[in-house]
Structure 1
Amino acid sequence: MPEFILLSVFLISLTALKVMYKEYKFALSGRIALAAMFITTGIAHFVFVKGMSLMLPDFIPYKFTLVYFTGVIELIAAVGILVPKYRKTTGWLLILFLVLIIPSNIYATIKHVNLEDATFDGAGPDYLWYRIPLQIFFIGWVYFSCIKPVPNRK
Structure 2
Amino acid sequence: MFITLLLLAVPTVALRVLGVLGVARFATWQVCAAHGLAFMLLMTGAAHFAPASVTAIPNHDDLTAMVPSFIPFPDFTVYATGVLEYLGALGLVLERFRRPAGLALALMFVLLLPANIHAAVDHISFHGDPATPLWFRVPEQLVYIAVALFAALGVASKTRATVAAT
TM range (shorter): 0.7 to 0.9
CA displacement at 1:76 relative to structure 2: 0.7
Q: How many equivalent residue pairs?
A: 146
Verify the 8 A CA contact 1:109 1:122 in the aligned structure 2. Answer: no
Instruction: Give me the TM-score of the superposition, normalised by structure 1.
Output: 0.85
Aligned runs of 1:68-87 on 2, under 5 Å? 68-87=79-98
Q: Secondary structure at the match of 2:49?
A: helix
Calculate percent identity across the aligned residue pairs. 29
Partner of 2:7: 5
Cα distance change on mapping 1:60 and 1:145 into 2, 3 Å: closer
Match of 2:131 among 123, 131, 135: 123
The Cα RMSD (Å) is 2.0
> Which whole-Å CA distance do the structure 1 matches of 2:149 and 2:35 have between them?
14
Partner of 1:136: 142
Q: Bigger CA drift: 23-32 or 43-52?
A: 23-32
The yes-or-no answer on 1:102 pairing with 2:104 is: no
Q: Secondary structure at the match of 2:66?
A: coil
Unaligned runs of 5+ in 1: none
Instruction: Give me the TM-score of the superposition, normalised by structure 2.
Output: 0.79
For residues 90-114 of structure 1, give each alpha carbon's deviation from its aligned partner in whole angstroms, at most 9, with x where no partner exists: 1111111000000011111111111
Unaligned runs of 5+ in 2: 51-58, 159-166
Partner of 1:34: 37
For residues 60-97 of structure 1, give each alpha carbon's deviation from its aligned partner in whole angstroms, at most 9, with x where no partner exists: 33222211111011011000011122111111111110
